Structure 1
Amino acid sequence: MDGAAAGMATKQTVLITNDDGIDAPGLRYLVDLLVASDRYRVLVSAPSVDQSGVGHGITWRHPLSAKPVQIKGATAFAVSGTPADSASLGISGLLFDGTVPDLVVSGINIGSNCGYHVVYSGTVAAAREAFIYGVPSVALSHNWIRGKSTLDELKQAAEVCIPIIHGVMAELKNKTFPEGCFLNIDVPTDPIHHKGLKLTKQGRSMIRIGWKQTDTVAGGTESYQTANVNGEYVVDTASGAFPTTMEDELLFKRFIKEEPSEGEGAEEDVDFIALHEGYITVTPLGALSHRETSDLPYFRSWLTHMADFSSSSSL
């Protein structure tokens, strides 16, 4: 084994994935920064196209393709599946000649992922998928404001996340990183002037999305919190043409009814609130949905009456 190969063998390995697609600028900025640090072996397994808002969907019924992509300093594949598929294949040992990464980093996403959006987010789902299969993971997002934010700010968001990745990797090397959660990290709109890191919990904020009827087959849906970049312009790649409809079919498309709001009286340590105060939010998440403990007394009482309903239904 030559010196270069030996050095690579001793480095920790980080796998980068996302939901915006392998050509997304956030992923490329993150990869470039990690490669430039010369600390890690950098692998990439990301969707071949934009997969924003697909949640934790997986591909089951047909094979996936993994196409090599040239990214300087990294070994990269574009996967014809969802973010969760890309993370799962990337940690399987099959894609990278038996290598299982020390850490999976998903992002950096164009658009924040706070509150209920964690459920919809492909960015968070990729990190969750790795966590479920025992590989430590981090999801990274930037609170991109459409029509205001710039690619320079997205790059700055990636830059402020690099020390966090270094910190997690150090804990993993020391075997002191907790095994019971993964991290969801959101960077404020103005990354350079952030107020520091803040430990937060998942809130209930979300963009309210409704439906409206349309008479055109083109245009599709509004993009979900993200976009890809064509030159210096951010373009909505979620829109597209649909097949010709039948005469009796009705067409509907989504639209944003209301921007997110945490509501009055929200706690200070909630992700959405802290993010909009200018903090980099660090939210530990698990794979299990937490129950609302305040509702438990009601359901205990409700269950005691279920026998009555069963008896009446049999009459």
Structure 2
Amino acid sequence: MESNSDRPTVMVTNDDGIDAPGLQALVRALVSSDQFQVFVSAPEREQSAVSHSSTVLTVMHAKPVEIDGAIAFAVSGTPADCTSLGISKALFTSVPDLVISGINKGSNCGYHIIYSGTVAGAREAFLHNIPAVSLSYDWYGRGGRRSADDYELAAEACLPIISGILAEIRKNTYPRNSFLNINVPADVVNHKGYRLTKPGNSMNKLGWKQVTSQAQGEEMISAMVLAPRPSSILESGAVGDTKNKNFMFIRKLLEFQVEDGGTDYSSLLEGYISVSPLAAMSPAEEDSHSYFALWLPLLNQCFSSSTI
């Protein structure tokens, strides 16, 4: 499976599935640049919002897939599984120099980072000391409906930073204490360049909606995908008689929470390619830490007094 080329090796994964247009566009851009060896280890089906879940005590399958210019496998696991398998030397005969997870359909900013399978695909590599990047495209953002060609533009916009990272890796100057979460704005043609950002607290507030049938649920999910940021809260009454009934529910978007300026999502709305360094676990805000620094000793005193 391994080439004798001196070109750096990039492994691609995602959470939208191996056939997703974002991953396919990214692989085409990497292959067409003729700068990299390209491996692909990606989920065989949709795995959005699975976060960092991993397969345990279950046999996982990897099936070869034809993708021009790349060595590719569709894996029956999660994005974290795909990365773990891909960097293990059990699937490929060499460890990649860089893992790229994406390009995701939709941004991954703010609190969405917690839920994101795309970010988890990169985080898994980081946990094993392999440089990694998660890439997302603000498909649902401002500027009208997107097309598959926009993924090609998003991939091209990210090639300079990918090449720059690999150049630093080759020089042994690339930091290993973080990985990068990159989000490309909706109007990628007119993007304003890269901006270093930090995660904010933007997120979709979700609730539950009772449905009467599988078909109704699927129809409502389709509508939610087409209009992912409603402005009004959807009201739904609680279930009635619970005897001998099987209730069905779907997730419903209640509102979209947006933070103040200066963060990843606000920069994305301004037209910048947001670049946020992430760690495996983010520390608490300073004011929260200060509060507990005062509160915990008091609790210890109370505990000591109650045991005398």
Shorter-normalised TM-score: what interval?
0.7 to 0.9
1:12-43 deviation digits (Å, cap 9, x = unpaired):
10000000000001111111111111111100
Q: Is 2:130 aligned against 1:130?
A: no
Distance 1:143 1:260, change over 3 A: farther
Aligned-partner Cα distance in 1 for 2:257–2:245? 36
Could you say if the C-alpha distance between residues 308 and 252 of structure 1 is closer, same or farther in structure 2, counting changes exceeding 3 Å? farther
Query: 1:305 offset after TM fit, Å?
Result: 3.6
Distance in 1 between residues matched to 2:283 and 2:295, nearest whole Å: 20
Q: How far 1:100 sits from its partner (Å)?
A: 0.2
Q: Secondary structure at the match of 2:295?
A: helix
1:283 partnered with 2:276: yes
1:160 aligns to what?
Answer: 157
Distance 1:204 1:102 in 2: 32
**Secondary structure at the counterpart of residue 11 of structure 1:** coil
Distance 2:213 2:43 in 1: 29
Matched residue, 1:303: 296
Q: What does the per-residue CA deviation read over 1:114-153, in whole Å, with 9 as the maximum and x for residues that have no partner?
A: 0000001100000000000111000000000277111121
Query: 1-side partners of 2:305 and 2:15: how far apart?
Result: 50
* 298-307 or 34-43, which deviates more: 298-307
The AA in structure 1 aligned to 2:22 is: G
Question: Retained in 1: the 8 A contact 2:201–2:257?
Answer: no
Task: Name the CA shift for 1:298/1:78 in 2 (closer, same or farther; >3 Å).
Answer: same
**Structure 1: how far apart are the matches of 2:193 and 2:105?**
20
Partner of residue 196, structure 2: 199
Aligned-partner residue type, residue 176 of structure 1: T
One-letter amino acid of the structure 2 residue matched with residue 303 of structure 1 = L
Corresponding position: 1:44 with 2:40: yes
Aligned-residue CA RMSD in angstroms?
2.4
Match of 1:108 among 87, 90, 103: 103
Q: Which residue of 2 aligns with 1:86?
A: 82
| Map of 1:22 onto structure 2 | 18
Name the amino acid aligned to 1:125: A
Q: Quickly say closer, same or farther: Cα 1:56–1:214, change in 2 above 3 A.
A: same
Contact 1:157 1:191 in 2 (8 A): yes
Cα offset for 1:5?
5.0
Contact 2:202 2:256 in 1 (8 A): no
Q: 1:260 to 1:56 in 2, by over 3 A?
A: same
Report the Cα distance in structure 1 between the residues aligned to 2:273 and 2:3, rounded to whole angstroms.
37
Query: Is the partner of 2:203 in helix, strand or coil?
Result: coil
Aligned partners of 1:67 and 1:77 also within 8 Å: yes
Unaligned runs of 5+ in 1: 228-245
Tell me: CA distance 1:272–1:77, structure 2 relative to 1, closer, same or farther (3 Å).
same
Distance in 1 between residues matched to 2:214 and 2:305, nearest whole Å = 49
Whether 1:69 and 2:65 are equivalent positions in the alignment is yes
CA separation in 2, counterparts of 1:5 and 1:110?
31
Instruction: Note the alpha carbon deviations across 1:181-240, whole angstroms, 9 max, x for none.
Output: 0000000001110011100011110011111222223435847x989xxxxxxxxxxxxx
1:292 aligned residue (267, 285, 289): 285
Deviation at 1:89, TM superposition (A): 0.4
Tell me the CA shift for residue 248 of structure 1.
Answer: 2.9
Q: Which residue type is aligned with residue 182 of structure 1?
A: F
Structure 2 SS opposite 1:175: coil
* Matched AA of 1:277: E
Q: Which amino acid aligns with 2:87?
A: I
> Within 1, Cα distance between the matches of 2:264 and 2:27?
26
Using the size of structure 2 for normalisation, the TM-score is: 0.87
Contact 1:208 1:259 in 2 (8 A): yes
Aligned length, in residue pairs: 287
Distance 2:300 2:212 in 1: 50
State TM-score, norm by structure 1: 0.85
Secondary structure at the aligned position of 2:182 is classed as: strand
Deviation at 1:307, TM superposition (A): 4.6
Aligned to 1:106, the other structure's residue is in SS state: strand
Q: Alpha-carbon deviation of 1:314?
A: 7.9
Matched residue, 1:143: 138
Note the 1:265-284 alignment, pairs <5 A: 266-268=260-262, 270-284=263-277
Establish whether residue 176 from structure 1 lines up as the match of residue 169 from structure 2: no
In structure 2, relative to structure 1, the CA distance for the partners of 1:188 and 1:296 (3 Å cut) is: same
Partner SS state of residue 109, structure 1: strand
- Any gaps of 5 or more consecutive residues in structure 2? 227-242
